[in-house]
A = this chain, B = another copy of it.
Amino acid sequence: MVPLRTEWGRSMDPHVLADALQEHPETQLVVGIHAETSAGTLHPIAEFARLAHEAGAMFMTDVVTSLAGCELEFDEWDLDFAYSGSQKCLAAPPGISPVALSERGLDYIRNRPKPPTSWYLDLQLIADYWGPDHIAHHTAPVSMIYGLREAVGMALNEGLSARWERHAANASALRAGLRALNLELPVPEDERLDQLTLVRLPKGVDDVKLRNQLLDEYSIEVGRGLGEFAGKIIRVGLMGESCVPANVFALLNALEKILPEHGFEVANGVAAAAASAQLVKHPSPLFTG
């Protein structure tokens, strides 16, 4: 395995992958994440897939946070393996994982010379279970499947483009409000996720205290910083059914109230005004559930 790394909070430059593939022509599989929730970045996976295929490799990707939250074209981008979760932008209960395989990927799985050592995610056995032979692999989590079916139905009723647009509009309103509070967004504009926004904590604002206060006093849970961002940022998710203007305003209002208590002065009402102006310019499609 050859790990390729980029700076925290930045997208991976496809040239790094192109160089690595030239250096390692024996590569069989390239793995890259689409929407990286630790660092709040979107990666150019269509380009990764193209480079991988040019080099004779397959491409696998984590679309846990991107599925149903931003543009994702499994066929058009020629992806081979993609796996996701039910609990992010699909807004179903957690506990089930939609996956997609290309014909090329399925052929590989079907013709593996060595079976996998673990029974858990043996896709060959799972394919036999879902196929016409229906050979028992596990007892299916029936209620999870009904939940996922309902969530997928809701996403399709909304329309995928409208859903992507909703995530973009609310993220953009959130950012307008955060900027009005003079807060810094560490990820460059064109590398940001709409589903998850990273906000740098001003000097003197304690990460744990702020997050606990948001949770205890406002019932708003935001993520903590990971890796190089630990203690330095908060991560604000706007995914699935939580991605609505009401939640944008609720968080901005809470921050406006809390930040001065932590020694960071903000002007009254500017955040809500900025978010509101942004939503007039770029309205969020209605989420009717």
**Chain A residues engaging chain B, CB cutoff 8 angstroms:** 85, 87, 93-96, 116-118, 120-121, 139-144, 147
Contact = CB atoms under 8 A, between A and B. Distances in A.
Contacts of A87: 139
A117 B120 contact: no
B139 A93 contact: no
B147 A94 contact: no
Contacts of A93: 141-144
A140 B144 CA distance: 13
Contacts of A143: 93-95, 143-144, 147
Contact of A118 (B85, B120, B139, B142): B120
A124 to B, nearest CB: 15
Nearest to A147: B143
A79 to B, nearest CB: 22
A144 B144 CA distance: 8
Contacts of A140: 94-95
A26 to B, nearest CB: 22
A174 B101 CA distance: 47
7 contacts: A87-B139, A95-B140, A95-B141, A95-B143, A118-B120, A120-B121, A143-B147
A151 to B, nearest CB: 12
A95 B94 CA distance: 11
Contacts of A94: 139-143
A141 B139 contact: no
Contacts of A116: 118
A117 B94 CA distance: 24
A117 B118 CA distance: 8
Given A87-B139, A93-B142, 18 more contacts: A85-B139, A93-B141, A93-B144, A94-B139, A94-B141, A95-B96, A95-B139, A95-B141, A95-B142, A95-B143, A95-B144, A116-B118, A117-B118, A118-B120, A118-B121, A143-B143, A143-B144, A144-B144
Contacts of A141: 93-96, 144
